[in-house]
Structures are given as structure tokens and as C-alpha cells.
Amino acid sequence: MRISTNTIYENGGTRISDLQVGLNRTQQQIASGRRILTPSDDPVGSARALVITQSDAVNDQFAVNRKNAINTLSVAEGVLGGVTNVLQNIKTRIVSAGSGILTDVERGFIANELQGDLEQLLGLANSSDGSEGYLFSGFSASAPYTKTQAGAQYNGDQGQRLLQVDTSRQIPLSEVGPAIFENIRTSASQFNTVANPSNLGGALATAAINAPTAANLTGNYYEVNFDNTGANFSVTNKTTGVVIVPSTPYVSPQTVTFDGIDLTLSNTPAGPGPGDRFSIQPGNQNIFETLTDLINILKTPVNSTAVKLDLAAGLAQANNNLDKSLNNVLTTRAKFGTSLKELDELDSVGQSTGLSYKQQLSDLQDLDYAKAITELNQQQVTLQAAQQSFVKTSSLSLFNYIS
């Protein structure tokens, strides 16, 4: 068979080109440390590596989220630790204020200290989360609480911020203010109505929300006062000092409405005694109202046996409210602690998952250097042989055989 010179050159050039391509590819693999340089090198392996890479990136993002959640929860737990200390200090002051040997001036000193505690609690309730937001305001960007005459007003919303920390787990980053500082049940009914210990009569007082005017509810502390004859009564907002219901003749039963409250007075069958009084507080208190009412009680001069009994009742009520508020705070701290423990466990699992992903990627992509270098040496020898063969073959001619 006759082979043309063009065919010899074309075949030789193609073969040498193929060998050079293979050699270059092996050199690139060694330089990069990767077995798969393009999807065409291993289509199935490339697809699998892409899936694993994406899963690993998501796992890394979960790790970042967990770190952020741990930071925020740690800050929140630290703030509630401060709240716990303040509440415990307040309990100590309540016990001190109950001492019968204190003068009005000395009780005023305690009231001033409690005023400082109230300011400190407001500051803690308005704590930042470290990223231009607030820990206890929900989704709102406003400070959770502003001070009012009755205590404090909540300005946030009821939204709860969650962060995805694993494929199927979202962790609350904090809690809304009312769940911590408010919603303190002091009575099974809507209002906690208590007869003054000094009452001589048998009248009964009950209170309920008046639905049509419920928007007027203030959450303040009220007191019902019968005059020296027991024939007339009035209602005073003890938080603001304003008389809400002026002196009114008493008949049994009798209902008056004020600030969204229906107050019902009735005989049992005995009627009220001269100077009888009843206190009315929301059945759902908050710590700011409790402290404000306590401060007002301590600032009231104790100039009679009745007022002394008022003081004792007010201190007992404040202590009871404070215990329930402290339980609220401790319950929330326990929730934060549980979340932090869960995040630590998820972190451990996430690290193991990340190592597994990286091992799988290594198995798919990493180069076997010993095999690759052996193949490189073989390709170099083959290329050199092909080049030398081509040189010799291309130099053959009939003229070499003409003598």
C-alpha cells in the first residue's frame, strides 16, 4: 500500500498533539491537586461534587447562624442575669421597708433607691442586641419601653425573631418584653380586688372589664374609699393621685364604670363600715407598675393605724408580684440556657457533617499524586518516542536508496 507524505505528516502531527494534550492535562492536575479539571473529565463525579459543595456551603452558613444565635442569646441571658440581681435587691428593700421602726423619712430613702432600681430595670429592658436592634422589642426597631407615670409603656410588637440554625430547626433569638416583664398573673380574675385589713364593715367589691370602654384601661392601681359615715364612696387612681369617681351615695348593689372598669359594690348582707377601703389592681401586673405603686406607697406618710395597715398590705402585694415577676425572668433564662445547649450540640453535629462533606469531596476531586506522577513520566517518554519516530519516518525518501 502506498502512503503519501501528507498522510505521514498528518497522522504524526495528530498523534503528537494528542500526547501533548494528555501531558498538559496531567501537569495541570498535578499543579492544582485536582483530578477533575472540567466536567467532561468525569461527568458523574462533577455532578456529585457540585451537590456536595452546595451542601457544605449551606452547612457552613448554618454554622455562622449558630454563632450569631449564640452571641445574641448570650447577651440576652446576661441582661436577664442583671434583671435577676435587681429584682433580688428590690426584695431585700421590701423586707427592710416593712420594719416597724422606720420613719417616713427612712422609707422615703428606700423609695428613692427603688426609683433607681426602676430606672435600671428600664435600661435593661431596653438593652440592644449588639446590631442596632433591641433584644425585647420583637420586630420593632423602637426601644421596647418608655417611662410613664404608671410605670412603663411597651412600644414593640409581639413578633419573635427566629434564625435557621439547621436544616429543620429555627431558634428564637430572644423574647418579647411583655413575656418577661409583664403578664404577671396576680389574680385568677381580671382584677385583683382586696379589702383593706382595717375594714370594719361587710361590703364586697368586685371589678371586671367593661367591654365597650376596654380601650380606656390604664393598668393603674385604684382605691375605693368610703367616708366616715360609710354612706358615700369615691374612687382614686393611686398611681396618678387623681380622683376618678367623686363622692357618690352608696346603695347596694351598685356598679360604677371608669377607665374601662366596671366596679360593683354590694352588701354581704352587712354594709360598709366608716372609712372602709378596697384596692383594685389589674389581675395581670407588670414589674414596672408594681415598682411604681410600691414607691408611691413608701412615700405616703404613715400617720394612722389604717395607713400603717395599708403599708403592710401594699408591701405584701408588691412582694407577691415581685416573686411572680422573678419566676417569669428565671423561666425565660432557662429557655435561653436550653437554646444555648441545643446550639452547642448542633454545632458538634454540624462540624462532623462538614468533615464528612470535605472527605467526600476529597475522594471525588483530589488527585492521587503517585499515580499522576507515574502517568506523567510515562506520557513524557511516549511523547519523546513519538517525536523521534516522526523525525525518522518523515526523513525517509527513495532518494536515500539511489546510489
For the segment 245-276, what is each residue's pLDDT rounded down to a tens digit? 999 999 989 999 999 999 999 998 888 999 89
* pLDDT value at residue 315: 87
Angle of CA points 307, 310, 314, to nearest 5°: 145
Query: In terms of pTM, does the model score above 0.75?
Result: no
Q: Is 176 helix (H, G, I), strand (E, B) or coil?
A: coil
Residue type for position 354: G
Q: What is the DSSP letter of 272?
A: P
Evaluate whether 381 touches 18 at the Cβ level (below 8 Å). no
- 17 pLDDT more than 70: no
Other C-beta atoms lying within 10 Å of the C-beta of residue 4: 8
* pLDDT value at residue 21: 62
Evaluate whether 299 touches 307 at the Cβ level (below 8 Å). no
More confident residue, 185 or 267: 267
Q: Strand order of the sheet with strand 191-195? A: 191-195, 277-282, 222-226, 232-237, 242-249
Mean pLDDT value across residues 118-142: 88
Instruction: Write out the CATH class of domain 34-185+288-366.
Output: mainly alpha
- 375 pLDDT more than 90: no
Evaluate whether 134 touches 126 at the Cβ level (below 8 Å). yes
Mean pLDDT value across residues 38-52: 70
Mean pLDDT value across residues 346-370: 78
Evaluate whether 209 touches 260 at the Cβ level (below 8 Å). yes
Evaluate whether 37 touches 24 at the Cβ level (below 8 Å). no
Evaluate whether 239 touches 296 at the Cβ level (below 8 Å). yes
Over the stretch 154-168, which tens digit does the pLDDT of each residue have?
Answer: 898 888 888 899 888
Evaluate whether 260 touches 212 at the Cβ level (below 8 Å). no
* pLDDT value at residue 80: 93
- The H-assigned helical ranges of 366-395 are 369-394
State the span(s) of the chain assigned CATH 1.20.1330.10.
34-185+288-366
Question: Residue 281: pLDDT band by 50, 70, 90 thresholds?
Answer: confident
Task: Phi first, then psi: give them for residue 193, nearest 5 degrees.
Answer: -105, 120
* E strand or H helix that includes residue 236: strand 232-237
Residue type for position 228: N
Lowest mean pLDDT across 131-135, 169-173, 239-243, 394-398: 394-398
Evaluate whether 174 touches 157 at the Cβ level (below 8 Å). no
Q: How far is CA 295 from the centre of its chain?
A: 31
Question: Residue 123: pLDDT band by 50, 70, 90 thresholds?
Answer: very high
- Per-chain mean pLDDT for the chain: 82
Residue type for position 249: P
Question: Residue 185: pLDDT band by 50, 70, 90 thresholds?
Answer: confident
Whether the bond between 43 and the residue before it is cis, its omega within 30 degrees of 0, is no
Residue 281's nearest CA partner among 329, 234, 233, 218 is 218
* pLDDT value at residue 360: 77
